[in-house]
């Protein structure tokens, strides 16, 4: 490592923040692009499972809230791809790599949605898991990313309220509605427990070295369990893990080991809905090609 790089590491590790125009080591830039691009991809792909339910929303209010959420998520991907663009990777290239399967997106967006129960569980618990990581990124060493996280977190907290309200309404409804939510929770629990990734000792994680991340995967999962398991129980739902319990002495949650093989399989493009959703992106990109051509021709 050169003296300049060493100085940079010391600077970020002591809490210093980096702007887009500042000098930065190539490794730092590469890792930032990869990480932030995957975040942008996830926001973009995350709208697809919910989008399917806009036309089937049970009331006008639910339709409005769901449409607003989907618009927010598409907006998050726009903001995030701009950050990647400033780091040197154009948005067009990000979209190409997403569609071709070269880059990845979060595990939870590779699964199907079967009922309105899924809509509630996704907005409440998937967004809750996401906001835990995103709140930790408010302290990211790369300042432009940390700054946009403020707006994103504010909107995510609205999504969580919307999701909780969908779930609460169904839990106060009929037995059939309650069963729908429980069935959705049963299917989502595994992917939710995989969401924050397998525990990596912070000493081995280059994301910590550059202070891109300052929260461990396991720490994020514990925070998720701490914040949401009591709420899940309060609503009368059962968490489908017989091992789940909180150790009152240490304050830590015990749970069945998440299925890491499934996580790897899914995020490498083999989820139940991966190819269908990427195909949808491919088609919409083809169909909108003429718009890009006209807009870019006029700008030139
Ligand atoms: Fe989002
Ligand atoms: Fe969200």
Q: Residue 299: what pLDDT?
A: 62
Angle, to 10 degrees, between the axis of helix 60-86 and the axis of helix 26-51? 160
In order along its 300 residues, the chain shows pLDDT tens digits of 899 999 999 999 999 999 999 999 999 999 999 999 999 999 999 999 999 999 999 999 999 999 999 999 999 999 999 999 999 999 999 999 999 999 999 999 999 999 999 999 999 999 999 999 999 999 999 999 999 999 999 999 999 999 999 999 999 999 999 999 999 999 999 999 999 999 988 778 899 999 999 999 999 999 999 999 999 999 999 999 999 999 999 999 999 999 999 999 999 999 999 999 999 999 999 999 999 899 888 665
168 vs 112: CA distance, rounded Å: 22
Measure Cα distances from 188 to 6, 109, 117, 251 in Å: 43, 11, 11, 24
Q: Ligand 2 mean position to 216 CA, how many Å?
A: 21
Give the ligand at the shortest distance from the Cα of 159: 2
Query: For ligand 2, a single-atom ion, which residues have Cβ within 5 Å?
Result: 127, 156, 159
Architecture of domain 3-299: Up-down Bundle (1.20)
- Report field, pTM of the whole predicted structure over 0.75: yes
Q: Residue 300: what pLDDT?
A: 58
Q: Residue 29: what pLDDT?
A: 98
What are 142-180's pLDDT values in tens digits? Answer: 999 999 999 999 999 999 999 999 999 999 999 999 999
Domain ranges of the chain: 3-299
Q: Ligand 2 mean position to 46 CA, how many Å?
A: 8
Give the ligand at the shortest distance from the Cα of 74: 1
Q: Nearest CA to 76 among 127, 116, 34?
A: 127
Rg of the chain on CA atoms, in Å: 20
Q: What is the three-class DSSP state of 142?
A: strand
What's the residue count for the chain?
Answer: 300
What mean pLDDT value characterizes the chain?
A: 96
Q: Residue 298: what pLDDT?
A: 67
Q: Ligand 1 mean position to 43 CA, how many Å?
A: 5
Q: For residues 185 and 171, is the Cβ–Cβ distance under 8 A? A: no
Q: Ligand 1 mean position to 149 CA, how many Å?
A: 10
Q: Ligand 1 mean position to 148 CA, how many Å?
A: 11
């Amino acid at each position: 490592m050169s003296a300049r790089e060493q100085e940079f590491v010391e600077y970020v590790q002591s809490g210093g923040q980096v702007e887009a125009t500042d000098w930065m080591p190539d490794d730092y830039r590469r890792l930032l692009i990869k990480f932030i691009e995957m975040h942008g991809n996830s926001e973009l792909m995350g709208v697809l499972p919910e989008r399917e339910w806009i036309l089937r929303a049970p009331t006008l209010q639910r339709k409005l809230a769901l449409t607003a959420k989907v618009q927010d998520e598409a907006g998050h991907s726009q903001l995030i791809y701009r950050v990647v663009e400033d780091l040197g990777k154009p948005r067009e290239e990000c979209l190409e790599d997403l569609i071709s399967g070269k880059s990845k997106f979060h595990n939870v967006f590779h699964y199907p949605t079967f009922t309105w129960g899924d809509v509630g569980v996704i907005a409440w618990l998937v967004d809750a898991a996401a906001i835990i990581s995103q709140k930790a990124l408010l302290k990211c060493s790369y300042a432009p990313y940390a700054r946009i996280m403020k707006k994103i977190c504010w909107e995510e907290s609205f999504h969580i309220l919307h999701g909780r309200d969908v779930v609460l309404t169904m839990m106060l409804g009929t037995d059939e509605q309650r069963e729908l939510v429980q069935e959705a929770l049963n299917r989502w629990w595994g992917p939710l427990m995989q969401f924050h990734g397998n525990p990596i000792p912070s000493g081995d994680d280059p994301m910590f070295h550059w202070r891109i991340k300052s929260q461990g995967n396991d720490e994020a999962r514990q925070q998720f369990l701490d914040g949401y398991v009591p709420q899940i129980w309060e609503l009368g739902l059962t968490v489908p893990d017989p091992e789940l319990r909180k150790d009152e002495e240490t304050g830590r949650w015990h749970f069945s080991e998440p299925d890491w093989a499934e996580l790897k399989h899914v995020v490498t493009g083999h989820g139940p809905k991966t190819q269908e959703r990427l195909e949808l992106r491919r088609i919409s990109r083809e169909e909108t090609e003429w718009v890009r051509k006209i807009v870019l021709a006029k700008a030139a």
